[in-house]
Amino acid sequence: MLDANGALMAANGLSDLPDPAAARVNVGAADRAWQDKAGAYTASAGDRIKADTGAAAFTITLPASRPDGAEVWFMDPGANWATNNLTVSGNGANIAGAATFTADLDGGYFIAIFDATADEWQVRMYGGAV
């Protein structure tokens, strides 16, 4: 969107963008790069994890510091979770109603989202390869 002087403005019209090439929208976890993991790991809020269990099953522990709405994204890049399960530990909070969650769909993906009211990690968008 252009203002009256022809300068590029934000889509909401509230501020000028002096350097459109440097403009970047921060959308939380979606703004982060995927990390490759092939062994035990303690995640941080906002992590995007490609958990490759091709060599062996392993556990990823969710963050102990978990503000409401914290997200950790997971995907199975090698389509191995059915053979070598990925276990996700809630680190003191339940995940999907239990202390751990087992990801066992080849080509699987899901997002763990912390619900502070329930004091539990919820699993969203759990699916496998199509």
Q: Domains of the chain (ranges plus CATH)?
A: 25-127 (2.60.120.640)
Better-scored residue on pLDDT, 30 or 93 = 93
Q: If you average pLDDT over residues 76-101, what whole number do you get?
A: 97
Is it the case that residue 43 has pLDDT exceeding 90? yes
What does pTM read for this prediction?
0.75
**Count of other CB atoms within 10 angstroms of residue 85:** 18
CA–CA dist 120, 92 (Å, integer): 9
**pLDDT one-digit tens code per residue, 53-83:** 999 999 999 999 999 999 999 999 999 999 9
